[in-house]
Chain A
Amino acid sequence: GQQVMQIPQYQHVQEGEDFTTYCNSSTTLSNIQWYKQRPGGHPVFLIQLVKSGEVKKQKRLTFQFGEAKKNSSLHITATQTTDVGTYFCAETSGGSNYKLTFGKGTLLTVNP
């Protein structure tokens, strides 16, 4: 199946700094989902992007889907310690098999 590449693998920031993680694919994606997993926890759905060039916001989080639908990003403004965790993007394989394929994730740590 398709494989989405996420960068960076790790990111450490000071509280109040911004953070961005990127998700890239060599092929056009049907849609993309973003999940957050707190340390020791389970993945929790954040958002789904479907349309080319789509931008969605959730408080301090901004999600973008590229014009060519081959990349996506998650930006957090003014990080807080509660933002700590691993952020995953996940894409849907095409055709009739609608399984999600997850990227390896970006682990965010925030220094208070």
Chain B
Amino acid sequence: DAGVIQSPRHEVTEMGQEVTLRCKPISGHDYLFWYRQTMMRGLELLIYFNNNVPIDDSGMPEDRFSAKMPNASFSTLKIQPSEPRDSAVYFCASSRLAGVDEQFFGPGTRLTVL
């Protein structure tokens, strides 16, 4: 199994630009999670999906952030417009079950907003 796949691995953009992060979960996993990691705030859950349906988006910082999961093998996290404070590592993770099963993390996308 290839594991969770994320792209791009690194993204450098200018303030105000739109950023789209992509994730392919492990086949057969019904849950997909988007996390953000910073030194100050640690690892924060942004949103998670069950069978492509968003279940909890209470961690999404503001309306500039949106996430979609059009099918079981693909999800996107979009930031529009981006701001310097969005600079972080964004991880996607998937699991068969939520909360009681291990989560498999992707390699992450390191986002820098100038």
Q: Which residues of A contact B (CB under 8 A)?
A: 30-31, 33, 41-45, 48, 50, 88, 92-93, 97-105
Give the interface size class of chain B. Answer: 20 to 34
What DSSP secondary structure best describes chain A's contact surface? loop
Residues of A within 8 A of B102 (CB): 33, 45, 48
Is the beta-carbon distance between A43 and B42 smaller than 8 angstroms? no
From A43, which residue of chain B is reached at the shortest CB distance? B105
What DSSP secondary structure best describes chain B's contact surface? strand
Is the beta-carbon distance between A99 and B106 smaller than 8 angstroms? no
Could you give 19 example pairs across A and B, Cβ below 8 Å?
Answer: A30-B99, A33-B102, A42-B106, A42-B107, A43-B91, A43-B93, A44-B105, A45-B103, A92-B100, A99-B45, A99-B48, A100-B99, A100-B103, A101-B45, A102-B42, A102-B44, A102-B45, A103-B42, A105-B43
Known: A43-B43, A99-B98. 5 other contacts (CB 8 A): A45-B104, A48-B100, A92-B100, A97-B56, A100-B33
**B114 touches A (CB below 8 Å):** no
* A33–B100 CA distance with the chains assembled, in angstroms: 9
Chain B, range 87-105, C-beta contacts under 8 Å to A: 91, 93, 97-100, 102-105
Given the known inter-chain contacts A42-B91, A43-B43, please indicate yes or no for A98 contacting B100, CB distance below 8 A.
Answer: yes
Is the beta-carbon distance between B105 and A42 smaller than 8 angstroms? yes
Q: Which residues of B contact A (CB under 8 A)?
A: 33, 42-45, 48, 55-56, 91, 93, 97-100, 102-108
* A101–B44 CA distance with the chains assembled, in angstroms: 8
Quote the shortest CB–CB distance from A73 to chain B (angstroms).
19
* A44–B108 CA distance with the chains assembled, in angstroms: 12
From A88, which residue of chain B is reached at the shortest CB distance? B43
* A65–B43 CA distance with the chains assembled, in angstroms: 22
Residues of A within 8 A of B91 (CB): 42-43
From B45, which residue of chain A is reached at the shortest CB distance? A99
Residues of A within 8 A of B100 (CB): 31, 48, 50, 92, 98
